[in-house]
Amino acid sequence: MSPEAAAERPRRRADPQAWLRRALALPYGWLLLFLLGPFLIVLKISLADPIVAQPPYTPLFEVAEDGARRLAASLDNYRFVLSDRLYLYTYLNSLKLAAISTLLCLLVGYPMAYGIARAHPARRNLLLMLVVLPFWISFLLRVYAWMGLLGTNGTINELLLWAGVINAPLKLLYTDTAVFLGMVYSYLPFMILPLYANLERLDPDLLEAAADLGSRPRQVFRDVTLPLSFPGVVAGCLLVFIPAMGEFVIPTLLGGPESLMIGRVLFEEFFANRDWPVAGADAVLLLAILLVPIGLFQYFEARREDET
Amino acid sequence: MEERTPLASTPWLDPDARPFVRIEGLSKHFGDFKAVDAIDLDIYRAELFSILGASGSGKTTLLRMLAGLEAPTSGRIEIDGVDVTDAPPYERPLNIMFQSYALFPHMTVEQNVAYGLKKDRTPGPEIQRRVAEILDLVQLSSHARAKPSQISGGQSQRVALARALIKQPKVLLLDEPLAALDKKLREHTQFELVNIQDQLGVTFVVVTHDQEEAMTLSTRIAVMNEGRFTQIGTPNEIYEHPCNRFTADFVGKINLFEATVIGGGDAEVTLRCEALDCTITLPHAAPLAAGAAVSLAVRPEKIFLAKEPPRETDRTVLRGVVLDLGYFGGLSLYRIETGNGTVIEVSAQNRQRDARGPEWDDEVYLSWDASNTILLGE
């Protein structure tokens, strides 16, 4: 278009996409500034050496005596983290705990999401609100509440002793079981909500068609409901798995000394050992691990978009 | 699919014929609302039976009860001599084609069609053979590997039909089978449906709100309103011999006039109609009491429209002016106002390309043969 024509165009016919671009710029700018920025700082720290100073790591560029700057990055921290058996164990243990927590959330969350999606429309909102209700209380408080429930002199033990079911208090707190309880409890809504959103959209005609063609209810579920809810399952699992992998509060407060999770180790490297570079390397590796499921999710989403 | 059971010519007239689907006193209540209200219906083998009604008439609820997707409040359903009232959908010898088609989006056309046979544990080679056969019948062999999202509406409709037919059900239920198709495709598909039904000899029960669809497809039609049938009959009976105001008014266009009985004999009745400003004597079997209120009905195409008064004298003749006219190509629809303000709809075929019919405000004469006047009680 010629410049004159462009000038003649009335104002209100301006490109409607411009508004959209502006609306998108804000969140993306925010992410760039406060996610990518800190990440680059962490990446920089992970390439440095720890020193007793303020800040407690060597600068990225060494200033030589002749005033020239020299890049002083090393992958030593990564080598250290990857060669240390404790770290390897911690990563594997985190993966295991996060995976089991995710699976438990799925097993508990799927029937709940299904139930809510099949409930009378008027009751669905109430049921959904009940799922989200715990968020109204601080996360930390709720984890502390579990300590009160699970402790040696906690509510559950007291109740069981009083009822005569047990003679001596059970060791509930500071176990992997307690971690799983805490994880499932905390992350369940993240599983239920995407699953609900998916199951609620499921066309009831499809279920009836399957039944009409000879499927018993269990087969209808296996042949139709389950495969069609797969995107919801993937979304829910990722929403639980990703934060569970880096979870720090729950294993620290509810877990025993053996339930080492990467988030907890990271915290200790950073605050107790003041070894920022190793903590940085830990964080970068954690992110690298999480990129795998995120990539998988993107792949499945893209494939699903193609199909519909 | 091999054997074909042709429809006995008019089994519903034969008192000894055994109905294939027998519905007795079937009701479905939702709270106080009677969606289906004590319905009796016999459908014969290889019939193409339509249930015609407006939305909310209960026709879909009736279909869902036949399929086993809705439990009746009371009554019985029998198919081929077997009581299936309490049988779950997966054990009934019938299949349904949903209005939405309800194709499984995660399966290919082939997998969709094969689904019912797989549930029956049919051996693999036989499944392959029968799927190929039926895809051929509905002309979709080339789309066997496509997903439902990749095919057109008309193709989806045929996949749904193939999927519902492959188990060779005793009865195929079709819920608004053509509603989702555009007009041109609908007309074509109508005939295709009839052909397939004729080829396979399966009993079809079609639920529709589209009277044209019901007329062209069906051996018989049941007109449904507020959970009950107002009339059951062949398309011709329903159209030309409606037995009540609802059926007459619902099916096709019709002019309805109030009339009062003023006398009559054994086989005829004399009526006074104020709207038409005339006295008419019609044949009528059952005697009607003098003073009884009845309705007279005349279809628009039965009325002859002319600029000159007709020469015959044995016809009902009215004079009026053209109030409104609509040109539809093949025919024109006129609204004529008579001297006392009654508006009558008349349709006339446009037989000559360049003939000029009556125009707005033209004075015209309406006439029709007395035998085309329908007498309706209530």
Residues of A in contact with B90 (CB under 8 A): 211-216
Interface test with B, best of A212, A226, A300 (most B CBs within 10 A): A212
CB contact under 8 A, A213 and B88: no
How confident is the model at residue B8, as a pLDDT? Answer: 65
Phi, then psi, of A172 in degrees rounded to 5:
-105, -45
**A283 assigned to some structural domain:** yes
Query: Please, which pLDDT band fits residue A12 given cuts at 50, 70 and 90?
Result: low
What percent of chain A is modeled with pLDDT above 70?
94
Question: For residues B251 and B239, is the Cβ–Cβ distance under 8 A?
Answer: yes
pLDDT for A157-194, tens place per residue? 999 999 988 888 888 899 889 999 999 999 999 999 99
**A234 assigned to some structural domain:** yes
Question: For residues A95 and A288, is the Cβ–Cβ distance under 8 A?
Answer: no
CB contact under 8 A, A205 and B88: no
Interface test with A, best of B65, B66, B90 (most A CBs within 10 A): B90
Query: Please, which pLDDT band fits residue A202 given cuts at 50, 70 and 90?
Result: very high
Residues of A in contact with B89 (CB under 8 A): 208, 211-212
CB contact under 8 A, A212 and B106: no
- N-term to C-term CA, chain B: 47
Interface test with A, best of B106, B118, B147 (most A CBs within 10 A): B106
Find the radius of gyration of the CA atoms of chain A.
26
**A286 assigned to some structural domain:** yes
Euclidean distance between CA atoms B160 and B177, whole angstroms: 10
* Residue A126 Cα, gap to closest chain B Cα (Å): 24
CB pairs under 8 A between A and B: 65
Nearest to B102 among A203, A223, A307 (CB): A203
- Two tokens, residue B159: 């996949």
Give the pLDDT of chain B (378 residues) as one tens digit per residue: 444 556 667 888 888 889 999 999 999 999 999 999 999 999 999 999 999 999 999 999 999 999 999 999 999 999 999 999 999 999 999 999 999 999 999 999 999 999 999 999 999 999 999 999 999 999 999 999 999 999 999 999 999 999 999 999 999 999 999 888 888 888 888 888 888 888 888 999 999 999 988 998 899 999 999 999 999 999 999 999 999 999 999 999 999 999 999 887 778 888 899 888 888 888 887 778 888 889 999 999 999 998 888 887 778 888 999 999 999 988 999 999 998 889 999 999 988 888 778 889 999 999 998 889 999 876
How confident is the model at residue A19, as a pLDDT? Answer: 85
**A68 assigned to some structural domain:** no
Strand partners of residue A62: A70
B152-191 residues touching A, CB cutoff 8 A? 163-164, 167
CB contact under 8 A, A205 and B106: no
**A243 assigned to some structural domain:** yes
Interface test with B, best of A203, A205, A213 (most B CBs within 10 A): A213
What residues make up the domain containing A96? 80-307
Q: How far is CA A245 from CA A93, A264, A270, A301, B137, in A?
A: 10, 11, 18, 22, 55
- How far, rounded to the nearest angstrom, does the alpha carbon of residue A53 sit from its chain's CA centroid? 34
Q: Provide the number of structural domains found in chain A.
A: 1
CB contact under 8 A, A227 and B95: no
Residues 6+ apart with CB under 8 A from B32: none
* Residue B181 Cα, gap to closest chain A Cα (Å): 18
Residues 6+ apart with CB under 8 A from B7: B44, B45, B46, B47, B201, B219
Model confidence, pTM = 0.83
* Residue B38 Cα, gap to closest chain A Cα (Å): 25
CB contact under 8 A, B149 and A307: yes
Amino acid at A162: W
pLDDT for A42-74, tens place per residue? 999 998 888 887 788 888 777 777 777 777 788
Q: What average pLDDT does the segment A189-213 reach? A: 95
All domains of chain B in start order, with CATH: 11-248 (3.40.50.300), 253-376 (2.40.50.140)
Question: For residues B201 and B48, is the Cβ–Cβ distance under 8 A?
Answer: no
Is residue B116 less than 8 Å (CB to CB) from chain A?
A: yes
How confident is the model at residue A10, as a pLDDT? Answer: 53
Q: What is the ipTM of this complex?
A: 0.87
Q: What is the CATH number of the domain that holds A209?
A: 1.10.3720.10
How confident is the model at residue B1, as a pLDDT? Answer: 40
**A265 assigned to some structural domain:** yes
pLDDT for A102-117, tens place per residue? 999 999 999 999 999 9
Task: Decide if pLDDT at A11 tops 80.
Answer: no
Nearest to A214 among B69, B98, B116 (CB): B116
Is residue B262 less than 8 Å (CB to CB) from chain A?
A: no
**A179 assigned to some structural domain:** yes
* Residue B194 Cα, gap to closest chain A Cα (Å): 23
CB contact under 8 A, B90 and A211: yes
**A218 assigned to some structural domain:** yes
